[in-house]
Amino acid sequence: MAIFKGAGVAIVTPMREDRTVDFEQFTRLLEFQISNGTDAIIVCGTTGESSTLTHEEHLEVIRYCVETVAGRIPVIAGTGSNCTETAIYLSTEAEKMGADGLLLVSPYYNKATQKGLYAHFKAVADAVKIPILLYNVPSRTGCNILPETIVSLCRDVENIVGVKEASGDIGQIGQLAALADGCVDIYSGNDNEIVPIMSLGGLGVISVLSNIAPAQTHEICQSYLDGDAKESCRLQLKAMELCKALFCEVNPIPVKKALQLMGMGSGVLRRPLTEMEPANTERLEKAMKTYGLL
């Protein structure tokens, strides 16, 4: 059974001016998501600035998220690392804290072979019992998890159940779906590809857009799941310009700015990320107004 179907939010980690985690604001963001129909919370992923959190902060954010959500919807914890032992440590701790699942990004910088990727993911999975989604985002990691490797892992390892696919290569994702023959739960990792990936058998999206438009992103997915592909496509196309604006600078710079524009302060960014350029802020604000968020 899938961890979730529909729209899971890759939630931001709000920061105070001193760049410590703002747990009070985090509560508000979590409640906003749940009350607007988000199907799952994905915490401490790329959008959550996990790469700049200490291990202690990383685990505290996961613990707080699990306790605040309190079983209302699934919580999937980002616990990947380019060090296998670190990924095992974060994953086992997240499991103890009550996470419903894990999201494991492919090891970055190392550029492991497919054999190395298989060994890495299997070692982490063998250390826990909860379900795992792989995260394929070669534009960030410099490493592409090939369809054959994903299928082998999902067939060979009981608790590796799917993948967040953010390669942007629809042909590769189609090849994955064909090879998998239903054994891999596929989620779009890009908001502008929700409908194309669901048309290949995907179950939904792990979404940046959901941070600011949770009800609308849920509806894109739910319409498709309900059999109304035409309505799902209409909603996807309506969101396209906003999706582009949310990635006109590196994620999560634009989405944190978008939350601020909505009066839902997400706080500052951690270095080396910097504040959004004024021209891009103007572009983002215009797209949000057109979409009806402002």
- C-alpha distances in angstroms, 122 versus 46, 101, 116? 22, 15, 10
Q: What is the pLDDT of residues 241-267, one digit of tens each?
A: 999 999 999 999 999 999 999 999 888
Q: Catalytic: 135?
A: yes
Q: Catalytic: 109?
A: no
Amino acid identity at 90: L
Choose the catalytic residue: 5, 118, 135, 291. 135
Choose the catalytic residue: 108, 118, 129, 164. 164
Q: What is the pLDDT of residues 61-110, one digit of tens each?
A: 999 999 999 999 999 999 999 999 999 999 999 999 999 999 999 999 99
Strands (E), 46-178: 75-78, 101-105, 132-136, 160-165
What does the block give as tokens for 241? Answer: 């310009």
Residue 117 has pLDDT above 80, yes or no: yes
What does the block give as tokens for 267? Answer: 């706080």
In angstroms, rounded to a whole number, what is the distance separating the alpha carbons of residues 237 and 182?
27
User: What's the mean pLDDT when you consider all of the chain?
Assistant: 97
Whether the pTM exceeds 0.75: the reply is yes
Ramachandran assignment for 19, one of left (phi > 0), alpha (psi -120 to 50 degrees), beta (any other): left
In angstroms, rounded to a whole number, what is the distance separating the alpha carbons of residues 48 and 247?
15
In angstroms, rounded to a whole number, what is the distance separating the alpha carbons of residues 73 and 30?
11
